[in-house]
Amino acid sequence: MMTRSDMEEAHKKDENSAPDQRDEGRPTVVDADRARGVRGAEPSRRGDEPKVTHRDKTAAGFHAIYETMRFGLEEMGARRSLVTLKTINQKDGFDCPSCAWPDPDGDRSVVEFCENGAKAVSWEATTARVTPEFFQKHSIGELLEQNDLWLEKQGRITQPMLKAAGAAHYEAISWEGAFEHIAKRLNGLASPDEAVFYTSGRASNEAAFLYGLFAREFGTNNLPDCSNMCHESSGLGLTESIGIGKATVKIDDFAKADAIFVIGQNPGTCHPRMLTELQKAARNGCRIVSVNPLPETGMIKFKHPQEILHLLGPGTPIACLFVPVRVNGDVAVLKGIMKEMVEEDERLGGSVLDHEFITHHTEGFEEFKADLARTSWEEIVEASGVSREIIREAAAIAMGAKRMICCWAMGITQHENGVENVQTIVNFNLLRGQIGRAGAGVCPVRGHSNVQGDRTVGIWEKMSDKFMNSLGKEFGFEPPKKHGHDTVRSIQAMHEGKVKVFVGLGGNFLAATPDTKYTSEALARCTLTVQISTKLNRGHLITGEEALILPCLGRTERDVQKEGEQFVTVEDTVGKVHLSRGVLEPASAELKSEPAIIAGMARATLDGRTTVDWEGLAGNYDRIRDHIEHVVPGFEQYNKRVRDPGGFYLPNEPREGRFPTKTGKAHFVVHAIPRRRLEENQLVLMTIRSHDQFNTTIYGEHDRYRGISGGRRVVFLNEIDMKRLNLRENQWVNLISHYEGETRRAERFRVVGYAIPPRCAAAYYPETNVLVPIRSVARGSNQPASKSIVITVEGAG
Ligand code: SF4
């Protein structure tokens, strides 16, 4: 059995292999190319000329069909479009690599995707290629001048590429050469904790489990992931309140609900097929409430692209009430709604709240009620920006619903009080016992296809002792006990020179993370950065002293290993695990699957210090799933059940009305309304996505739901603020963020007057990530507060 001290001994023996990394504390020399790289870390402004155009008032419809076809034909051609689009999200097909919205439990239609899913697939299955010749032709410096859309448009990377120390270009390298290079650098570190292993939410359960095993056998728990940036606050808040950090609903619950509150979420762009469920619910008489600073098109009206007869009609109204909450006014508005409910309950002799549920299944109610009584209406209305009348209407909908669901996304989690926001939503559900029965529950909606599954199978810097012991027992080693770094802490550790090797399993770390300039400096201080990727992005250009790009298979592609064709498995946002099997021939014969790449790195790095049969695992993923079954509860008969059409749900006690907290009860948690004193000229900025975007991937420069075309550098402002700050529509401005006496700048954005509450602003990321201070994070979860940025606006010359 290998222990951590054995490893450290092995590292010492290897000392001569990487003498440049022995010098603890010595600042890494940033060569000229990398210095230029840091300067090019922000998205290029080249060609970014946004204009205000027509705004679609109904989501999807003909326009979505047109965009789907246009993208498919442009990127893949007719035949590939047909093959991929008829297979995506089908029971024996591949899982959409975009968001984590679940597929129907029963029968599926022949078209089980949305416009954004089709774009994601076209993007991956493109026929364009980035070959070694491409890298010979373009230096890293030249590529940095291009915008993010141009970079991704170049197509799929076909071969492993190495940027040597001091080199201006990437050059082709063999797979074995790449693995040996990684092994040499990893084994040359003074401690395993000088490496971080980042995971994006596209990685399958099988890849994520192997990756976690590799990092821990190597000796570190430095396993940051994109969940650290999107729903970490949901995981923590829910676990403390109800005992599990996941949704408590199934997809069928949406059609059974009488009320659905969609809070801080824009499903029309971020989880488009959710509109199908909301449409079904609305047609069943469910009352849908949108609580959001911006009135988003998807929440107003929807035309289902498959309902041919309805395409010419006016569309289905979705939300019956829009609650225009200020940015981060959610605790205030929810407290207002709950105060109405509690007061009404008292007036009607206890017939509004579910007192039996509160008594038997919860604790903390009396304290919670006393806090509501103490909270004044003036404070609620002022902090939420929502009138008493609208709050009363929302409360009436909640009180009239036998079955209520609350959903949310990053409008809730990306604040310093993100965990408090989540727990306040749970309080709202607990008041009428709206967790643990059909048609009711809470649902954080995840934005990347397997971000939830990756966490379930072990991607976390602080997995439970139970998981770690089980993993150690299964593979005969002693996993490291010390907790590792999350995303923010990893960036800080790289910046401080305490982490020297960065490995990214998918994603675009640079664009996804806060404080772009600081993060780019952090990456540039590494001795080696490794990106396992399908397409070129800015993250490949802001590198450590040396850098590797390891090109991998995409979800759409056939995955043939030593023991035959393989499939992978993923978990959706409601905890259902199902298989994903690609259908296209790989973009290049040189591509490897993510499990094969991880196995290659592990074999080369842990050579002689591991008893794991890495190649055997990569040769047949059933073996990986057998190990997952032994280590992670809920995966009994994994290989059999995942082959059942549609897959299986993981256990979820709150869904059954049981709360696996320490006391066995759900908790009402009291939180104060967050107060922020803004100076006269300050606003609170939230980062948002355009409709032509999936997470950090930019598909185009249009946002038809907000009437923006031809560029992305816009800032949406209330007209009262524009007048007050002397700003004109279309004027170019710079945005300056303010945090603990520091300022950060993002330059040249066009002012767009918009229906957003006063003192609030919105602008697209990743362009505005540069404004998010690395230290501005949610209490408890350490999630970047990307939707709570205090800014001022100045005219740009
Ligand atoms: S809703 Fe999400 S998972 Fe479904 S097709 Fe659209 S982008 Fe893909």
Instruction: Report DSSP letters for 551-593, one per residue.
Output: EB--TTB-EEETTEEE-EEEE-TTSEEEEE---BPPS-TT-B-
92 Cβ contact partners less than 8 Å away, ≥ 6 residues apart: 579, 581, 645
The answer to whether the CB of 627 is under 6 A from ligand 1 is no
Which residue has the least CA distance to atom 7 on ligand 1?
A: 117
User: Considering all CA atoms of the chain, what is the largest pairwise distance in Å, rounded to the nearest integer?
Assistant: 79
User: Separation of 208 CA from ligand 1 center, angstroms?
Assistant: 21
Amino acid 47: pLDDT: 79
User: How far, in Å, CA of 393 to CA of 333, rounded?
Assistant: 12
Residue 307: Cβ-neighbour burial (10 angstroms; 0-12, 13-18, 19+)? middle
> Quick check: helix, strand or coil at residue 492?
helix
The answer to whether the CB of 273 is under 6 A from ligand 1 is yes
The answer to whether the CB of 270 is under 6 A from ligand 1 is no
- Closest atom of ligand 1 to 449 CA is 3
- Closest atom of ligand 1 to 103 CA is 4
- Closest atom of ligand 1 to 116 CA is 7
Low-confidence ranges of the chain (pLDDT < 50): 1-30, 32-34, 36-37
- Mutation test of ligand 1: which of 67, 84, 85, 98 has the most ligand atoms closer than 8 Å to its C-beta? 98
- Closest atom of ligand 1 to 694 CA is 7
The answer to whether the CB of 117 is under 6 A from ligand 1 is yes
CA distances from 407 to 159, 266, 390, 410, 428 (A): 42, 11, 19, 11, 12
Amino acid 310: pLDDT: 67
Rg (CA), the chain: 25
User: How far, in Å, CA of 495 to CA of 509, rounded?
Assistant: 15
Amino acid 222: pLDDT: 98
Amino acid 751: pLDDT: 98
- Closest atom of ligand 1 to 99 CA is 2
Task: State how beta strands 301-303 and 316-317 pair.
Answer: antiparallel
- Mutation test of ligand 1: which of 116, 119, 202, 306 has the most ligand atoms closer than 8 Å to its C-beta? 116
The distance in angstroms from the start CA to the end CA of the chain is: 65
The answer to whether the CB of 114 is under 6 A from ligand 1 is yes
